[in-house]
Structure 1
Amino acid sequence: MKAVVLALALAAAGLAAPVPAQVAPTAAELQAYQGLHRAAARGDLPQLMALIAGGADLESRDRLGRTPLHVATHARQRDAIGVLAAAGAKLDVLENDRYDAVTIAAVADDVPTLALLLSLGAKPGQTTSRYDGTALIAAAHLGHDEVVRRLIAAGAPLDHVNNLHWTALIEAIVLGDGGPRHQRTLVALVDAGANLQLADRQGQTPLQLAVARGYGPMVEKLRAAGAR
């Protein structure tokens, strides 16, 4: 359903339909993994530590450019993430679709893994994905309100504009369903000081976009905050 909403919003904006991105390892890939990728996916800490002690490459890549850290993030193997980070694995590298671990956790609505990554020093505001977005934009699009709050608290840029000419605030409206989680997402962004006047490519402001979609609670919040 969310893919349909995205396709319709892009079509309305005169943009091409999206291509699949942020691909988690398939069952076949998980079965075929060897070395650090296998240990990270399984959360096999003794094997992970043995491989690291033996000099295994922490930044090795699978066919889609995912490092062991990416794989551990997809698998929600937080202890493995901790071991990899302690050994010096890079927290902010991008895989082939230009996603970092923070954005992977944000899209998955995985608050504990996101919190761990941020506590280890991962950057909250990298430009990621083929849309030149951020983890905050991705989370706002999906209505992952607690993730949005965590990223805001960590200093993620509120007003980054992606190559669709959308901010996190705009995506919470145009790609959201107007329901409670997207409402809470919008409230978090507005209360944090997101720019209410940044418009989309057609010159539509967040308030105008919310009015056009009939998202009453969002309209009320935006108007109360001084949006035009």
Structure 2
Amino acid sequence: MTAKPPTPADLALSDAVGRGDADAARAALRAGADRERCDGQGRTPLLLAALADRVAVAEVLVGAGADVNAQDARDDSTWLVTGVTGSVAMMRTLLPGGPDVTLTNRFGGVSVVPASERGHVAYVRAVLAETDIDVDHVNRLGWTALLEAVVLGDGGRAHQDVVAALLAAGADPALSDGDGVTARAHAERRGFEAVADLLRRAESQGGEGPRAGGGGR
């Protein structure tokens, strides 16, 4: 079945998202734009707004009832994208829409996993504090957010703070990857002494890590 061609209002909404124009997005919706119309990759206007971090436009779409959980051809949802971009503002904009924090990306990870890999400290702190996301979720690679922060991180300050935030939120330092290697063992192998020290202290305290220092939630 051939998809219906976009209406002028649909095109106006797409243009508004691309430009980050919230007023134009609001006008397009009033004119009858389909807030769930997908592009060739299955991406809704809200998902495109999240990818470009168009927060004001996203606020309009969420307020209009746009689906925050719709997933595209790559299994990305608006919520999952925030873990990649690290946008705390977008994350908070989506919360009123009732995002499903258990949705997984094509690697089987929830949003805190890619955020930890990328060293998005403020996002990791915020998503752990403001949602009930599973801090010990295991993706298809057999890695938790804690393991990704070590295995795919650089051991620098941002990843140290991510590790501290995950531990403070109750992440289990004893969980190992598919080969039985823990985050601490990975940190030691890679010479990430500051990270390894955080994990050693967490293990000695029965899994309760130190609070991440500095910055906001």
Q: Give me the TM-score of the superposition, normalised by structure 1.
A: 0.80
Q: Secondary structure at the match of 2:50?
A: helix
SS in 1 for 2:189: helix
Cα distance in 1 for residues equivalent to 2:200 and 2:21 = 52
Partner residue in 1 for 2:15 = 38
Partner of 1:66: 43
Q: TM-score, normalised by structure 2?
A: 0.83
Unaligned runs of 5+ in 2: 1-9, 207-217
CA distance in 1, matches of 2:181, 2:97: 36
Q: Which moved more, 1:145-154 or 1:43-52?
A: 43-52
Match of 1:111 in 2: 88
**What does residue range 3-82 of structure 1 map to in structure 2 within 5 Å?**
34-82=11-59
Contact 2:69 2:100 survives alignment (8 Å): no
- Alignment length (residue pairs): 195
Q: For 1:51-93, what per-residue CA distance to the aligned partner results, in whole angstroms no more than 9, with x for missing partners?
A: 2123221110001111000111122221211111111111111
Q: Which residue of 1 aligns with 2:174?
A: 197
1:1-228 equivalences under 5 Å are 34-118=11-95, 120-123=96-99, 125-153=101-129, 154-226=131-203
The sequence identity of aligned pairs, in percent, is 36
Q: Which runs of 4+ in 1 moved over 4 A?
A: none
Conserved in 2, the CA contact under 8 Å of 1:43 and 1:77?
Answer: yes
What value does the CA root-mean-square deviation take over the aligned residues? Answer: 1.8
CA distance in 1 between partners of 2:22 and 2:170 (Å): 42
* SS state at 1:34 partner: helix
Task: Name structure 1 gaps, 5 residues minimum.
Answer: 1-32
Structure 2 counterpart of 1:97, which letter? R
Amino acid at match of 1:102: W
